[in-house]
Structure 1
Amino acid sequence: MACKWINICPLRRFEQQGKLDLRWKKEYCESENNWKNCRRYELEEKSIPHGNLLPDGTQIDGKDKND
């Protein structure tokens, strides 16, 4: 089962712009269980703003495709 937010997650925009590697989507969003460890998911479920946060909790700068 993938994350319920997969289709509307703002990370998709960064992927489309070529600013974010697809590995994040594969490792977290599309995974069977690892989406539960996504920091964005955890904060979203608590209605806490999370801005440009990667699934591991680091901030997106939008510059390095491999980060």
Structure 2
Amino acid sequence: MAGEVLRALCLVAVFEGLFLFAAPRGWKRAAEQLLMLPDRHLRLVGAIVVAIGIVALWLARG
């Protein structure tokens, strides 16, 4: 279990790095726009992303 979590975190790091490598300006613009959003909206988006991730994991483990 711990190995799977570590592999998943490593995969997240790879994807984050790819976004920064491939489109640094776009990433900066997105970060600037996120700073302007109210905390409530960011929490809502975060909750939606977490829910989608949990459903995707559930479907993938199947």
- Per the normalisation by structure 1, the TM-score is 0.33
